[in-house]
Amino acid sequence: MNATIASPPTAGAPPALRVEKLRKTFGDHTVLRDISFELAQGEILGVIGPSGGGKTTLLRCLNLLEEPDSGALSYFGDLRVSVGSNDAPKSLPEETRTLVRRQVGLVFQNFNLWDERTVLENLTLGPTVVQRIAREHASAAAIELCDQFGLARYLSHRVWQLSGGQKQRVAIMRALIMNPRLLLLDEVTSALDPMLAAEVLNSIRDLRRQGRTMIVVTHHMEFASSLCDRLMFLDQGAIVQLDTPGSLKANPRTDTVKRFLEILRSTN
């Protein structure tokens, strides 16, 4: 890996995430090829690249919603998952998956909320079922979060009654209420018009101020440059470039990166 880590926020601590030779195929289509990188604690990594490049699949593999074909993942230095090597089990045990998912929150591109349930139910189901937190405590936490995200009035609305921007914030809150050590956000603004996107992006900036470790897939170059410590350019399942936003823009390594950045500049 020849990318440099730009001033890791908590140097000395074990990395939040270490990915080694992560491979994922669907049938005979290789979607991720030997992805390796490290993420420092408190760091925010942006993932950009053409669609179909494997960004969503990468996030789903990190949360183990997709099981990688091979590779090793290590979270916060203490939780190691290895697949595809000789001594590794054929399929990951449920214990491992749930352990990882409790530390790694994932916000889906299309919200994936439970539409016919209320905002409050969407937020409290995780804490009450997974962490076995008493309903009153879970509700209190949900109310506090909704206050922060400007959705206090909507607690008892059903999700299908909300606007896209409100839904996306509920989706972010649903992951946040589990207090994940690492938060993965998949194109959280692509389904939204610019006004709504701005609301959501502001919410994510607040998360940065709280020092959360995040991986953010996005097409908003402005946002990515100002928010992220480093940017990863993913194309055809491989990391083409992993750099600070400044150097990525100044020295795009390949023509693809260069053209992609130009297109983003002209459309944003």
Partner 1 sequence: MNYDWNFSRLAPYTRAFASGTATTLTLTFWVVVLGTIVGVGLGLVLRRRAAIYAMYPIIDVIRAIPPLVLLLFFYFLLSRNVIGRTVDAYWVCVIGLSLNLAAFVADLVRAAVANVPASVIDAGLALGMRRHQVTRHVVLPHVARELLPSLTALYIGMLKLSSLASIINVRDVVYAAQTVIADISRSLEAWVIVGVIYVVLVLPATYGARRLERWSRRGSERRSA
Ligand X SMILES: Nc1ncnc2c1ncn2[C@@H]1O[C@H](COP(=O)(O)OP(=O)(O)O)[C@@H](O)[C@H]1O
Q: Interface residues with Mg ion (CB under 5 A)?
A: 56
Neighbours of 93 (CB within 10 A): 9
Task: Report if residue 68 touches partner 1, rule: CB under 8 A.
Answer: no
Neighbours of 213 (CB within 10 A): 24
Site mask for ligand X (CB under 6 A), range 23-42, x = bound: ---x----x-----------
CB 70 to partner 1: min, Å: 22
CB-count burial class (<10 Å; 0-12, 13-18, 19+) for 212: buried
Q: Which residue has the tokens 């998912």?
A: 101
Cα–Cα dist 95/212, whole Å: 25
Q: Which residue has the tokens 């959501």?
A: 200
Token pair of 61, please? 């593999």
Residue 96 CA, distance from chain mean position:
19
Give the N- to C-terminal CA distance of the chain in Å, as an integer. Answer: 30
Q: Which residue has the tokens 């996107």?
A: 197
Task: Report if residue 105 touches partner 1, rule: CB under 8 A.
Answer: yes
Task: Report if residue 110 touches ligand X, rule: CB under 6 A.
Answer: no
Task: Report if residue 74 touches ligand X, rule: CB under 6 A.
Answer: no
Closer to Mg ion by CB, 60 or 149: give it. 60
Q: Which of 8, 15, 53, 127 binds ligand X (CB under 6 A)?
A: 53
Closer to partner 1 by CB, 36 or 179: give it. 179
Task: Report if residue 178 touches partner 1, rule: CB under 8 A.
Answer: yes
CB 44 to ligand X: min, Å: 19
The H-or-E segment that residue 204 falls in is: helix 194-209
CB 4 to ligand X: min, Å: 24
Q: Contact 56/234 with Cβ under 8 angstroms?
A: no
Task: Report if residue 134 touches partner 1, rule: CB under 8 A.
Answer: no
Residues that bind ligand X (CB under 6 A): 26, 31, 51-57
Residues that bind partner 1 (CB under 8 A): 63, 65, 94, 97-99, 101-102, 105-106, 108, 110, 112-117, 125-126, 129-130, 158, 160-161, 174-175, 178
